[in-house]
């Protein structure tokens, strides 16, 4: 089955909406809805983790950056891959990536490549500009 851009949005929007409500959301239920049981997410350095570790990271992020918002700026489809250009914003209230809170906010771009299987996300490769976020938080 070919994935249309509308299909793609329907598949990924609950995930991005969930990232905007990490502190008030049942993260486990969201991931069960959106992702396959064997889901893997792979970051900038090539480290891949599964759902249980992702849940822990998201719960920590909810405490550290409670106002995190993640917007979908563009969606593209190639075969069974959904490419999302996103934007994240937030203001850390606790140590974030080794930096004590400064009261400043960040705004960064992200690129996510989601592989879809049976209508759910099976794997995600993602890259975010966290160095840019740290520069903004330091005021530089």
- In this predicted model, what pLDDT tens digit does every residue of 13-66 receive, in sequence order? 988 888 888 778 787 888 888 999 999 999 877 789 998 888 888 888 889 999
116 Cβ neighbours under 8 A, 6+ residues apart: 3, 8, 11, 80, 81, 82, 122
Q: pTM for the whole thing?
A: 0.90
Q: Has residue 1 got a pLDDT over 70?
A: no
Give the Cα separation of 65 and 93 in Å (integer): 6
Residue 33: C-alpha distances to residues 11, 63, 133, 137 (Å): 10, 23, 30, 34
Contact 94, 62 (CB under 8 A): no
Q: Has residue 74 got a pLDDT over 70?
A: yes
Contact 90, 50 (CB under 8 A): no
The architecture of the domain spanning 5-138 is: Roll (3.10)
Higher pLDDT, 11 or 23: 11
Give the Cα separation of 72 and 94 in Å (integer): 26
């Amino acid at each position: 089955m070919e994935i249309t851009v509308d299909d793609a949005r329907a598949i990924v929007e609950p995930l991005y909406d969930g990232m905007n409500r990490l502190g008030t959301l049942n993260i486990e239920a969201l991931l069960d809805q959106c992702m396959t049981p064997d889901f893997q997410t792979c970051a900038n350095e090539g480290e891949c983790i599964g759902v249980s570790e992702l849940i822990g990271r998201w719960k920590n992020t909810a405490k550290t950056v409670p106002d995190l918002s993640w917007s979908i700026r563009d969606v593209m489809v190639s075969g069974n891959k959904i490419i999302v250009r996103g934007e994240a914003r937030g203001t850390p209230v606790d140590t974030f990536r080794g930096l004590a809170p400064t009261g400043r906010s960040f705004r960064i771009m992200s690129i996510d490549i989601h592989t879809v299987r049976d209508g759910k996300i099976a794997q995600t490769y993602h890259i975010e500009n966290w160095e840019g976020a740290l520069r903004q938080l330091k005021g530089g």
